[in-house]
C-alpha cells in the first residue's frame, strides 16, 4: 500500500540543494548576524528535507525523520550540551526564565521529540529584546496520530498539553547571539501562520503509567527502549533493559522517581526526566554527580539532602553499571557504523509543491 504524503519537491537533488542554498529567505531585520542567518537557513532546509509534511499517522515518515535527525546534521550540530524544551507559556508575557521547561541531552531530544513534528521549510528570524536572544520561527505540524508507543511518554496525561501538541503550528528556536547556538526550543499552537494541514484530534486515556506492557507483551513506549536507535544485533540491548530496571528500583527507593517524571509534581522550572531508559541514559552522568555530591534527592522544601550510606552505595552502583553499558552500546554502534557500507539518502515520495517565503 502506498504511503500517503502531502508534499512534493522536485526530487532528491532539489531537496539536497536546499542545504547549501537558502530554502526560504528569512523575513528578518538587517541586524541579524550572518552566523544566525546561516543557522536558520540550514536548520529549516534540513527539517524540510528529512521531516516533510506527511499524514499524521505515517509511521514510516516518522521513522525516516527520526533516523535523519539522530547523530548529526545542521540541527544537532547547533545544540548545546543540554537543551531546554517545552511548550510556549500560556502567559503571552512570560519569559523563558518564567516558563517551565524540560532539560534534555541533545541526542535524546533529536531522537524522541523533534521527529514528532513535520516542516515546510518556511522560517523567520527576529531579535527579542526581552530575552536578549534571536528567535527562529519555523512553521510546523505535529504527528498526533502515531501509535502511543511512538511518543516518549503519554503526552495526554495533561489535556492542555496534549491539545497544544495536537494543534501545534510552529517551533521557536532560541539562539544565543554570541555563540550562534540553540539554547531552547518551544512548540506553540499560537504561531501567526496558518495550520499546515487539518488536524483530526485523537483522544487517549492516561492510566498513570509512564511505562506499560502492550497486548503483545512488549514494554512501551518502544521508542524509549532504544528502539530504532541501536541496531537489533547490538549485544548491549538486553543488559541496558535489565540495568535500567535495577536503576529504576534504586531510584524509587531513593525517592528520585517522585520528582523526575513528566507530570512534574514539584513544579520544577527545569525538569529532568528519568522515567524511561532513553531519558535516564541522557542524564546518567549528571545523576551520578548529583548523588555523589549529595545534591539529590530533595525534600518537600526543595532542599537537597544526603542519602543514607547504604542507599547511596546501591544507587551509585546501579547508576554506574547502567552508564558503563550505555557507553559500551554507543561504542559498539560506532564500530558497526564504520564497518557498514555507506547508504545513500533516498528522496521522500512527494505530492504537493511547497512554496517558501522570499
170 shares a domain with 36:
yes
Residue span of the structural domain in which 158 resides: 12-188
31 shares a domain with 180:
yes
Collapsed DSSP state (helix, strand, coil) of residue 90: coil
Q: Does the bond joining 104 to the residue before it have cis omega, within 30 degrees of 0?
A: no
Tens digits of residue pLDDT in 308-350:
899 999 999 999 999 999 999 999 998 998 887 544 333 333 3
CB half-sphere exposure, 44, CA atoms < 13 A: 30
pLDDT band at 305 (very low <50, low <70, confident <90, very high): confident
Answer whether residue 297 shows pLDDT above 80.
no
pLDDT band at 48 (very low <50, low <70, confident <90, very high): very high
Helix (H) or strand (E) holding 117: strand 117-128
160 shares a domain with 283:
no
Sorted by sequence, the CB contacts under 8 Å of residue 123 that are 6+ apart come out as 24, 26, 40, 41, 43, 44, 136, 137, 138, 139, 357
Lowest mean pLDDT among 98-107, 282-291, 303-312: 303-312
261 assigned to some structural domain: yes
Distances (CA, A) of 298 to 116, 303, 332, 344: 33, 5, 36, 49
212 assigned to some structural domain: no
**Mean pLDDT on 272-278:** 92
Answer whether residue 99 shows pLDDT above 70.
yes
SS3 letters across 169-213: CEEEEEEECCCCEEEEEEEECCCCCCCCCCCCCCCCCCCCCCCEE
157 shares a domain with 70:
yes
Prediction pTM value: 0.84
* Domain boundary pick from 158, 188, 218: 188
Question: Residue 267's pLDDT is what?
Answer: 84
166 shares a domain with 37:
yes
pLDDT band at 301 (very low <50, low <70, confident <90, very high): low
140 shares a domain with 64:
yes
63 shares a domain with 156:
yes
| Number of folded domains that form the chain | 2
What is the grid cell recorded at 302? 526543595
Residues paired with residue 174 on neighbouring β-strands, in sequence order: 135, 184
d(CA 283, CA 99): 21
Dihedral class, residue 242 (left if φ above 0, else alpha if ψ from -120 to 50, else beta):
alpha
234 shares a domain with 184:
no
50 assigned to some structural domain: yes
* Domain boundary pick from 131, 162, 188: 188
Tens digits of residue pLDDT in 133-157:
999 999 999 999 999 999 999 999 9
Closest CA to 236 of 328, 321, 340: 328
Answer whether residue 28 shows pLDDT above 70.
no
Sorted by sequence, the CB contacts under 8 Å of residue 104 that are 6+ apart come out as 82, 83, 84, 85, 113, 273, 279, 282
Tens digits of residue pLDDT in 156-210:
999 999 999 999 999 999 999 999 999 999 999 999 999 999 999 999 999 999 9
147 shares a domain with 41:
yes
288 shares a domain with 182:
no
Amino acid at each position: 500500500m502506498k504511503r500517503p504524503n502531502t508534499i512534493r519537491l522536485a526530487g532528491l537533488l532539489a531537496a539536497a540543494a536546499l542545504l547549501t542554498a537558502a530554502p526560504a529567505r528569512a523575513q528578518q531585520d538587517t541586524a541579524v548576524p550572518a552566523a544566525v542567518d546561516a543557522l536558520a537557513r540550514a536548520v529549516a532546509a534540513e527539517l524540510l528535507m528529512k521531516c516533510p509534511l506527511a499524514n499524521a499517522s505515517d509511521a514510516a515518515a516518522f521513522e525516516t525523520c527520526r533516523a535523519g535527525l539522530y547523530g548529526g546534521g545542521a540541527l544537532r550540530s547547533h545544540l548545546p550540551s543540554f537543551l531546554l524544551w517545552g511548550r510556549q507559556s500560556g502567559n503571552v508575557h512570560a519569559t523563558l526564565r518564567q516558563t517551565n521547561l524540560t532539560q534534555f541531552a541533545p541526542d535524546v531530544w533529536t531522537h524522541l521529540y523533534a521527529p514528532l513534528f513535520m516542516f515546510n521549510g518556511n522560517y523567520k528570524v527576529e531579535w527579542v529584546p526581552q530575552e536578549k536572544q534571536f528567535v527562529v520561527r519555523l512553521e510546523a505540524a505535529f504527528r498526533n496520530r502515531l501509535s502511543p508507543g511512538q511518543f516518549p511518554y503519554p503526552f495526554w496525561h495533561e489535556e492542555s498539553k496534549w491539545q497544544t501538541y495536537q494543534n501545534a503550528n510552529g517551533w521557536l528556536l532560541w539562539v544565543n547571539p554570541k555563540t550562534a547556538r540553540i539554547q531552547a526550543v518551544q512548540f506553540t499552537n499560537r504561531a501567526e501562520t496558518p495550520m499546515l494541514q487539518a488536524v483530526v484530534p485523537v483522544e487517549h486515556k492516561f492510566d498513570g503509567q509512564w511505562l506499560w506492557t502492550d497486548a503483545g507483551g512488549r514494554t512501551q513506549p518502544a521508542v524509549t527502549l532504544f528502539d530504532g536507535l541501536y541496531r537489533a544485533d547490538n549485544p548491549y540491548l538486553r543488559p541496558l533493559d535489565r540495568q535500567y530496571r535495577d536503576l529504576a528500583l534504586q531510584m524509587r527507593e531513593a525517592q528520585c522517581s517522585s520528582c523526575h517524571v513528566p507530570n512534574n509534581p514539584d513544579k520544577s522550572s527545569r525538569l529532568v526526566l528519568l522515567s524511561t531508559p532513553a531519558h535516564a541514559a541522557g542524564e546518567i552522568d549528571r545523576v551520578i554527580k548529583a548523588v555523589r555530591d549529595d545534591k539529590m534527592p530533595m525534600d518537600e522544601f526543595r532542599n537537597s539532602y544526603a542519602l543514607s550510606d547504604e542507599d547511596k552505595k546501591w544507587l551509585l552502583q546501579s547508576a554506574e553499571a547502567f552508564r558503563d553499558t550505555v557507553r559500551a552500546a554507543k561504542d559498539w554502534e560506532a564500530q558497526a557504523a564504520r564497518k557498514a557500507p555507506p547508504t545513500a539518502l533516498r528522496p521522500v515520495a512527494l505530492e504537493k509543491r511547497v512554496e517558501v517565503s522570499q
